Structure 1
Amino acid sequence: MPDDLLQALAAARPDLGPAPDRTRRDRDLTRALASAPDASSAPARRGRSLWKAAGLGVVAAGTAVAVIATTGTTPPTPQSRPSETAPTPLSAREILLAAGASSLKAPAAEGDFLYTRWISGRQISIPGKDYLLDSRTEQEMWRAKEPGHYQYMINRDLGTALASSAAEQAWKADGSPRGWTFETPPFEFFGMSQERGRVRVKLEPPATTPDVWRHVSDFGVGRIGSRLATPENLAKLPTDPKALYDRLLREMTAMTDAAPKENRPDPVQHRYLLSGDLFRAGVDLVARLPVSPALRSAAFGMLSHIPGVESRGEMTDPLGRTGQAIALTGRADSNFVRNGEMVQGGTLYDTVLIIDPSTGTALATADQISKPVWPPSDRQGQWRSYELFQESRWIPALPMSRLKHAKHSR
C-alpha cells in the first residue's frame, strides 16, 4: 500500500497511533476503517450535468463519425495494474473514506467565475481489427457565480490516436489504413431495437482552430436532486454523507412520483435507475461543481452508500495518471422488468470513477464495457466514453482575450 494512501487513510481516523511495522499498519487501518464513521463527520463548514452543448455525451454507435490518426505519441489504454507485492485491495468504502478525509484539507476557494477544464473521449472499435482508436475533445468552461451573465466554453478537437502502443503496432501490421467504412447490424431485445447503421471512420489531424461559445443561463450545471446546482443551492446540502444520500434519494424519488403515471418506471427498474442517478450526482459533486471541502468530503462518503458500488483497485486513466477505482456495476443499454425482476439487455457496462485518495480528487470517470452486445465489434474492457478531469478553480475575472470572438449558443 503506497505511503501517501496510508497517510490519507490514517487521516480518516486521526486517533490511530503510529504502527511499529508496515504489515501491522495495513491491518490496523483496514480493521479500523471497516467500523469507522464516515470521513466527513468532522465539524461541517457551510459553504446535472454541464451544458448540453458541452459535448459530454458521445456519438452513438451506428452514426457517421469523422476521427483522426495518430499524431506521434499514443495514450495509454486504461487498465488495472496489479501491484508487485499483491497487497489486499482496498474496499470501495476505504477508498472513499480516504478521499473524503483528504478533501477536507483543501482550502475554501474564492472568485467570481468557476473555471473548469476536462477531456471528453471514447474508444472506437473496428470490426475485424485487433486495435482500438481513441477520439478526444478538450473543453474549457467559465461560469459566473451570479446568474444572468454570459458563460463561455472552448471546445478543441484533439483528434484520434491508436489507444495504446500495442494498438499502434497492430494497426501498422494491418497496413496502416487511413480510414474504414462498415455497417453495424440491427439489434433487437424484448421489443427494443437498434437499426442497422453505417459508420465511417476517417483519419484526420486535430482541428487547428477551437470553437468558442457563449450563452446566458443560471450557472448552467443542471440539477443535483431537485435543485438547480447553483452555488447557493449547493451550500444548503447536508455535509454528512448519510444525510446527503437520504436527501438526494428522497428528492429523486419525489420527482419520479410526480411524473404522470404512464411515465413512471416499475419499482424494480426505478431502484436500478436511482442508483445510476445517485452515482452521477456524486461524480458531479466531487469533480465538476463548486462545492466546499466539507460537501466534497460528504459526497465521497455518499457514494459508499449506493448499492452496487465496489472497488476495482488501482487503475490508470488515458492520461497515464494512476489512482484507486470504484465502480457502479451492471449497468445496461436496455432494461426491462419481467416477473418482478430486472432483465438487462444490450451491452453491459460499469460506470467507473478513478480517485486519488491521497489528495481527495477525482481523476476520471468512464463507462467501461463489461459484456459487449452491440455493436459486435466492441470488446470487454473498452472505454466507450470517458471524462478526464484536469482543473477546477475559482478565478477573479474572465480571460476576454481568449473569449472575445465567442459565437452565441442558444
Structure 2
Amino acid sequence: MKTLAAARPAELDPSLLADSPRQREDFAHITAESRERPVGTSSVSPVRLRPRLLPLGAVATIAASAVVLSVLVGQGTGDTTSTPAATRPPSSTPATLNDRMELLGVAQAAETAAADGTYWQVTTRSENVDVVGERGRRYTLRSTSTEKWSVGVRSGTQSLMVSGLDARTAPRTAADMARWRDAGSPHQVEGQVKADSRLKVRFTVGAGRPMVMHTNMGNKIYALGPNNVSYHDLRALPTDTGTLRQELLRLYRQDGGADGRTAWMLRQIANLITMPVKPGTRAAAYRVLADLPDIRVEGPATDPLGRSGMAIILPVRATTVLGAVEQRLVVDPATGALLSDQSVLVEPSAVARDAGLKPGATVHYEATTQMEWAHRQITVPANAKEG
C-alpha cells in the first residue's frame, strides 16, 4: 500500500477532489481502468484499454502533465456520448488451420531465445491519441514517449522503470495544428476522461520530463494474473502447453473471471511473452494462444513502426470516449518477438468524428523496440523525477 501511495501523483489524491459521491465514483473508475497502463507514462489520457507489463502491485497513474479536474460536463448537449460498438463484419477472418499453424511457427521461433542474465530489459515506444477542445473546434493531440524497464533478477538487484523519455505532446496533423493555433496555441488543453464522466483531463503541449520508478518489492518483480511473482516463480512456469494452459486458467479463476476468459488469456499471454520466462514457456504461451477460440489472424501486417509481422486480433471490442476500439498484437513470426500492442478505432464516436478521426486510425500503440538480457542496470537521466 505504501508503494501504491508513493506512485500516486498529487493530482490523484482523493482528498483534492470535491467530495461528492459521483466524483468519488469517477475517480475509482479511472484508477481501476488505468491499472492496465505502465506506471508513469507521460502526457497521456488516464483511461487506457490495453494491459501491458505492470510493475507488480502498482496502479498505473495519470501522467504528471495530465491533471484531473472536477469539472461538470454539460448535460443534454448530445455530443458527449461515445457511439456504442455496432454489429459489423470483422476486419479479418477467424483463425483458420493455416493461421494456427503459422502461430505454431511463431512458437517454434520463440524457443531459440537467449537463456539468462542479470537484468531483463525491455524498451518500448508508445503513442496515444487524445481529443481536446470544445464541440465544433475539437482536434487531436499525439503524445509520444520511450520507456525503459530493467528488471533485476539476481539477489540484491533492483528493478527500475524510466518512462517519459523523449516525451512530447503536440497536435497530430496539419489540420490539428491549425485548430490549435486558432485556439490561441494554448500550452494546456482539456479533454474528456469518459463520454459520461464529470471529470476532464488536462494535457500540457510540449516536451515532458522523464520519471523513474522502483518496481520490485523484495524479490517480487512482476504481476502475473492477480499475483506478484519472483524470477524463480517465472522460471518455474510450465513449458508444456497443456500444463501452462491449466495454470493460466487457475489464475483466471483466482482473478474472479474478469473480462471474459479469451480476452484475459490473450492479455496474460501478451505479458508472458515479454517476461524473462524460459524459452519453452514463451513457446508454450504461443501454443496456448493458437488454441484460443474466436481470435482472428491477419497477415502479413505492419506495426506502427513499419515492421512486418502478423496481427492477432482480440475477439471483443471496447468502447472509449473515442468510440469502439479493437485490440491487436503484432508479432514477428521469424523470432517470436512481440512487436506492438495496438488499439485501432473501428467505430468513431461523435467526439472523435468532430476531431476528424476515422475508422482504422491507431489511437494507441506500444511498440517493443528492444528485449534482451544485460549485465548492467540502465542509466537514469539526471532530470528524472521520482515516481
TM-score between both structures, scaled by the size of structure 2: 0.64
SS at match of 1:222: strand
Structure 2 counterpart of 1:142, from 150, 161, 182: 150
Shift of 1:115: 1.7
Moved more, 140-149 or 276-285: 140-149
Separation in 1, partners of 2:190, 2:43: 23
Instruction: Tell me how far 1:303 sits from its aligned partner.
Output: 1.3
1:249 deviation in Å? 0.9
In structure 2, which of residues 320, 323, 341 is the aligned counterpart of residue 365 of structure 1?
A: 341
1:283 aligns with 2:259: no
* Residue 321 of structure 2 corresponds to residue 331 of structure 1: no
Equivalent residue of 1:53, what SS? coil
* TM-superposed deviation, 1:100: 0.9
Alignment partners' CA distance in 2, 1:50 and 1:272: 12
Q: Residue 352 of structure 1: which of 328, 347, 357 is its match?
A: 328
Q: Deviations over 1:309-362 (max 9, x none)?
A: 11132332222222210111223249xxxxxxxxxx994322210011012111
In structure 2, what is the equivalent of residue 160 of structure 1?
169
Q: Identify if the C-alpha distance between structure 1 residues 100 and 161 changes in structure 2 by more than 3 Å, giving closer, same or farther.
A: farther
Q: What are the within-5 Å matches in structure 2 for residues 69-218 of structure 1?
A: 92-108=99-115, 110-125=116-131, 128=136, 132-146=140-154, 149-155=157-163, 156-160=165-169, 163=172, 167-168=173-174, 170-171=175-176, 177=182, 178-179=185-186, 181=189, 184=192, 187=195, 194-198=196-200, 203-204=205-206, 206-207=207-208, 210-214=210-214, 216-218=216-218
* Cα deviation digits, residues 130-163 of structure 1 (max 9, x gap): 9754211211122211366432222214213565
SS in 1 for 2:260: helix
Which secondary structure does the structure 1 equivalent of 2:261 belong to? helix
* SS of equivalent residue, structure 1 residue 384: strand
Q: Distance in 1 between matches of 2:203 and 2:251?
A: 43
Change (3 A) 1:393 1:373: same
Judged with a 3 Å threshold, the aligned counterparts in structure 2 of structure 1 residues 172 and 157 are, in CA distance, closer, same or farther, namely: closer
Matched letter for residue 104 of structure 2: L
Which letter does structure 1 place at the counterpart of 2:118?
Answer: D
Q: Deviation string for 1:248-304 (max 9, x for gaps)?
A: 012221342xxxxxxxxxxxxx475332221111011112x1022211111111112
Secondary structure (helix, strand or coil) at the match of 2:123 reads: strand
Any gaps of 5 or more consecutive residues in structure 1?
Answer: 1-48, 68-81, 83-87, 188-193, 257-269, 335-344
Query: How far does the alpha carbon of each residue in 1:114-140 deviate from its partner, in whole angstroms, 9 at most, with x for none?
Result: 222112321224565797542112111
How far apart are 1:65 and its partner, in Å?
A: 9.2
**Is 1:212–1:406's contact at 8 Å kept on the other side of the alignment?**
yes
Residue 264 of structure 1 corresponds to none
Aligned to 2:15: none
**CA shift in 2, pair 1:183/1:355, >3 Å:** closer
Aligned-partner Cα distance in 1 for 2:42–2:221: 12
Separation (CA, whole Å) in 2 of partners of 1:290 and 1:406:
26
Note if contact 1:64-1:199 (Cα within 8 Å) is conserved in structure 2. no
Give the distance between the partners of 2:243 and 2:108, measured in 1 at CA: 17
Q: Tell me what 1:237 maps to.
A: 237
The alpha-carbon deviation at position 174 of structure 1 amounts to 5.7
Please state whether the residue corresponding to 1:320 is helix, strand or coil.
coil
Does residue 254 of structure 1 match 2:289? no
Distance 1:320 1:223, change over 3 A: same
Distance 1:65 1:404 in 2: 18
CA distance in 1 between counterparts of 2:228 and 2:100 reads: 29
Quote the RMSD (CA, aligned, Å). Answer: 4.0
For 1:310, which of 296, 300, 304 is the aligned residue? 296
Structure 1 residues 131-140 or 323-332, which shifts more?
Answer: 131-140
The match for 1:15 is none
Across the two proteins, how many residue pairs are aligned to each other?
Answer: 304
| CA–CA separation in structure 2 for the residues paired with 1:299 and 1:222 | 17
Equivalent position amino acid for 2:197 in 1: E
Comparing 391-400 with 212-221, greater Cα deviation is found at 212-221
- Structure of greater Rg: 1
SS at match of 1:385: strand
Alpha carbons 1:330, 1:349 under 8 Å: kept: no
What is the SS of the residue equivalent to 2:159? strand
**Kept in 1: contact 2:43–2:64 (CA 8 A):** no
Q: Counterparts of 1:100 and 1:366 in 2: how far apart (Å)?
A: 21
Q: Any conservation in 2 of the 1:183–1:196 contact (CA below 8 Å)?
A: no
Identity across the alignment (%): 24
> Cα 1:293–1:215, aligned 2, differ >3 Å: closer, same or farther?
closer
Q: Do the aligned partners of residues 231 and 51 (structure 1) sit closer, same or farther apart at CA in structure 2, a change above 3 Å counting?
A: farther
TM-score w.r.t. structure 1 length?
0.61
Amino acid at match of 2:108: A
The gaps in structure 2 that reach 5 residues or longer are: 1-34, 49-61, 67-90
Does the 8 A contact of 1:133 with 1:162 survive in 2? yes
**Matched-pair contact (CA < 8 Å) for 1:144–1:219:** no
